[in-house]
Amino acid sequence: MLHLLPDEIDRYQRDGWVVPQWRLPEARVATMRAALDELLRRNPGVRPEKLVSAHVDRGAGDNGEGVRGVADFLDLARDPEIVELVSGVIGDDVILWGCHVFCKPAGEGFETPWHQDGHYWPIRPLATCTVWVALEPSTRANGCLRVIPGSHAGRTLHPHLHEDRQDLTLNQRLAAGAFSEDAAVDVELAPGQMSLHDVHMIHGAGANTSPLRRTGVALRYMPASSHFDRSLRPVAGQSGVPVDFSQRSLWLLKGHDACGLNDFATGHTSSLRIA
């Protein structure tokens, strides 16, 4: 099994993000591109940047969050190689709690405002590693992720402001003063490459005005020492994406529920494979 290299773990801890050497094999990328086509086919009425819980496939019905999912995304999220990578930075008890496909169409892909993920999520203590898997080339020109290295280090959440615009992937933007955009690094990835980022790290992404579509699958993993607290509503319905954390399915992929409070039954039906 491939783990993160010691140097990659160091960089993740120091910078809040890393692109590991390991990448998806070409055949797997092809499978996931076909899954993406199917996901888009199943969701003609959903903006492709807002395909939340794309891994929850309930057949003809939606996933409870307005999207008809595709099971291949759950298979990807449960890929033992990816779970081992994540385990390298969050420890031996790993819970999968989310999968968001951010597909930015050519020419009109939405901007992702600068933000910290932790602002949006009901996890206490706040902890998550996101694995952002590129299914298509992701470059500065088509709106790749942009990160502020080291911005996670204080482990504090800075104030965000609500932006009532229709052309954003998310509607909360970091208020001015928390960081300098001059420090931003473009995370350019080839298909099959991935980045890992920490829940406190400041990041965003430009609009896609290029002729090339850009798609990333954001897989969200938390250590089971934290609680996914369904009673919290951090952004009170103002995230810009119609999420429902009260019904969100959790999968324990490795180890045990160290905090003892996580609920692995809600959101699972007989059609969903529980790990």
Ligand X SMILES: O=C(O)CCC(=O)C(=O)O
Residues that bind ligand X in the complex, under the rule CB under 6 A: 102, 112, 117, 130, 132, 145, 169, 203, 205, 216, 218
195 vs 226, beta carbon nearer ligand X: 195
Q: How far is the CB of 102 from ligand X (least distance, A)?
A: 3
16 vs 263, beta carbon nearer ligand X: 16
Tokens 């008890």: give the residue: 93
240 vs 267, beta carbon nearer ligand X: 240
Q: How far is the CB of 2 from ligand X (least distance, A)?
A: 22
97 vs 132, beta carbon nearer ligand X: 132
Q: How far is the CB of 177 from ligand X (least distance, A)?
A: 20
Tell me the DSSP string of the chain.
Answer: -----HHHHHHHHHHSEE--S----HHHHHHHHHHHHHHHHH-TTS-GGGEETTT--BTTB--SSS----HHHHHHHT-HHHHHHHHHHH-S-EEEEEEEEEEE-TTTBPBEEEE-GGGG--EES---EEEEEESS-B-TTTT-EEE-TTTTTT--PPPEEE---SSBSSSEEEPTTS--GGG-EEE-B-TT-EEEEETT--EEE--B-SSS-EEEEEEEEEETTSEE-TT--TTTT-SSS---GGG---EEEES--TTS---SSTT--TTSPP-
Q: How far is the CB of 211 from ligand X (least distance, A)?
A: 18
Q: How far is the CB of 266 from ligand X (least distance, A)?
A: 23
231 contacts 50 by C-beta, under 8 angstroms: no
216 vs 223, beta carbon nearer ligand X: 216
d(CA 53, CA 75): 13
d(CA 142, CA 215): 10
d(CA 238, CA 55): 23
Q: How far is the CB of 146 from ligand X (least distance, A)?
A: 9
150 vs 255, beta carbon nearer ligand X: 150
Q: How far is the CB of 114 from ligand X (least distance, A)?
A: 10
57 vs 117, beta carbon nearer ligand X: 117
Q: How far is the CB of 69 from ligand X (least distance, A)?
A: 17
165 vs 256, beta carbon nearer ligand X: 165
**Residue 4, amino acid:** L
